[in-house]
């Protein structure tokens, strides 16, 4: 469904991604892990051309259903963004316009892709918000982004990403601001939606426990390169690359007795 091929990206003269190649199959969850600054967010933003003006793609392709998104026109990208591929940013506030109430943003996002009434949109959103343990959905819909806490904003951004039932969700640290019980609930909601409508997820996370729980396959990024990828279980139990060994040795992984 998604194939990143030999992607190299630089900010000015500094190259931060080196020939990155990854594949996400329909319905699967692929986790990308790696230390801070290794290029995970840059890679994720590159997929939809959201890296900003200072970034340059030096080479490579991002194939979605065989179509290279890096050469797609703005109109086609707009259709794909949100509707087919949704993204949750690492800083949840980046998913929102700061001066527009959440409810209105939700409705505008949905209306850009689907003919759905405001009432139906809000109803769908209320269900998603409740699934993610956010009480008072109406208050949230009636709030500005700055009126929500970081953890609330993160969940609302995730709900907004999922309300259109995208075929692929790009999620950059989607549970980093949440405490563990809420995190578990949010993960369960993502897994449920994935099961219900076959969404694929490309998940960037620092949390090896989250990767182990959610992802069938895992890729390890180190200084802008993918140094290892394969079945999550395989990598966690027998990491092949020196950096993966250090990364995995440094965290207790749930269920492995470490
Ligand atoms: N807009 C930008 N302009 C210039 N350099 C950038 C920009 N965004 C990221 N970088 C640089 O690119 C490199 C990769 O950053 P990136 O944010 O992709 O890493 P990351 O793996 O997501 O890190 P973290 O785990 O801390 O989120 C870093 O050296 C960073 O300083
Ligand atoms: Mg990042």
Q: Which residues of 74-87 are buried (b: 16+ CB within 10 A; e: fewer)?
A: eeeeeebbbbbbbb
Q: Average pLDDT, stretch 6-21?
A: 96
Compute the distance from residue 57 Cα to the ligand 1 centre, in Å.
15
Which ligand is in closest contact with the Cα of 89? 2
Compute the distance from residue 37 Cα to the ligand 2 centre, in Å.
7
| pTM exceeds cut of 0.75 | yes
Q: Which residues of 105-125 are buried (b: 16+ CB within 10 A; e: fewer)?
A: bbbebbeebeebeeeebbebb
Best residue among 4, 9, 11, 17 to mutate for probing ligand 1, ranked by most atoms within 8 Å of CB: 11
Task: Give the model's pLDDT for residue 193.
Answer: 84
Residue of minimum CA distance from atom 30 in ligand 1: 37
Task: Give the model's pLDDT for residue 258.
Answer: 47
Task: Give the model's pLDDT for residue 87.
Answer: 92
pLDDT tens digits along 98-141: 999 999 999 998 988 888 899 999 999 999 999 888 989 999 99
**CA–CA gap between residue 64 and residue 162 (Å, rounded):** 19
Residue of minimum CA distance from atom 3 in ligand 1: 11
Best residue among 9, 38, 177, 204 to mutate for probing ligand 1, ranked by most atoms within 8 Å of CB: 38
Compute the distance from residue 119 Cα to the ligand 2 centre, in Å.
35
Q: Average pLDDT, stretch 12-33?
A: 96
Best residue among 7, 31, 37 to mutate for probing ligand 1, ranked by most atoms within 8 Å of CB: 37
Spatial CA neighbour of 95 closest among 31, 145, 49: 145
Task: Give the model's pLDDT for residue 253.
Answer: 54
More confident call, 253 vs 210: 210
208 alpha-carbon distance from chain centroid: 15
Per-residue pLDDT for 5 more than 60?
yes
Residue of minimum CA distance from atom 16 in ligand 1: 39
Residue of minimum CA distance from atom 10 in ligand 1: 11
Which ligand is in closest contact with the Cα of 222? 1
Task: Give the model's pLDDT for residue 194.
Answer: 87
Task: Give the model's pLDDT for residue 102.
Answer: 94
Residues with CB under 6 A from ligand 1: 11, 16, 34, 36-42, 52, 54, 90
Residue of minimum CA distance from atom 26 in ligand 1: 36
Q: Average pLDDT, stretch 69-79?
A: 91
Q: Average pLDDT, stretch 156-168?
A: 91
Residues 45-48: contacts with CB within 8 Å, 24+ apart? 45/87, 46/4, 46/7, 46/9, 46/17, 46/70, 47/2, 47/4, 47/85, 47/87, 47/170, 47/202, 48/77, 48/80, 48/81, 48/85, 48/87, 48/170
217-222 vs 225-231, strand pairing mode = antiparallel
Per-residue pLDDT for 257 more than 60?
no
Which ligand is in closest contact with the Cα of 40? 1
Strand partners, 3: 23, 63
Q: Average pLDDT, stretch 26-38?
A: 94
pLDDT tens digits along 45-58: 999 999 888 899 99
pLDDT tens digits along 223-256: 999 999 999 999 999 999 999 998 888 876 555 5
Spatial CA neighbour of 28 closest among 210, 234, 169: 169
pLDDT, mean over the chain? 91
Tokens of 182: 């809420």
Residue of minimum CA distance from atom 29 in ligand 1: 37
**64: pLDDT confidence band, cut at 50, 70 and 90?**
very high
């Amino acid at each position: 469904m998604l194939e990143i091929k030999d992607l190299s990206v630089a900010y000015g003269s500094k190259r931060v991604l080196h020939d990155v190649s990854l594949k996400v199959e329909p319905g699967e969850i692929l986790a990308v892990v790696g230390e801070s600054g290794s290029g995970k967010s840059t890679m994720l933003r590159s997929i939809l051309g959201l890296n900003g003006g200072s970034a340059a793609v030096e080479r490579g392709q991002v194939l979605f259903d065989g179509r290279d998104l890096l050469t797609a026109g703005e109109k086609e990208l707009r259709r794909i963004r949100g509707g087919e591929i949704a993204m949750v940013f690492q800083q949840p506030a980046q998913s929102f316009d700061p001066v527009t109430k959440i409810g209105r943003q939700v409705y505008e996002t949905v209306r850009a892709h689907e003919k759905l009434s405001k009432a139906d949109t809000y109803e769908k959103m209320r269900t998603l918000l409740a699934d993610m343990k956010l009480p008072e959905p109406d208050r949230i819909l009636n709030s500005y982004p700055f009126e929500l806490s970081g953890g609330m904003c993160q969940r609302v951004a995730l709900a907004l990403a999922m309300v259109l039932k995208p075929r692929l969700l790009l999620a950059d640290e989607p549970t980093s601001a949440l405490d563990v019980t809420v995190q578990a609930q949010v993960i369960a909601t993502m897994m449920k939606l994935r099961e219900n409508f076959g969404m694929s997820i490309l998940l960037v996370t620092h949390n090896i426990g989250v990767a182990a729980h959610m992802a069938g396959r895992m890729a390890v990024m180190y200084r802008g390169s993918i140094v290892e990828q394969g079945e999550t279980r395989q990598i966690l139990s027998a990491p092949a690359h020196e950096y993966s060994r250090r990364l995995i040795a440094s965290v207790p992984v749930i269920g492995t007795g470490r």
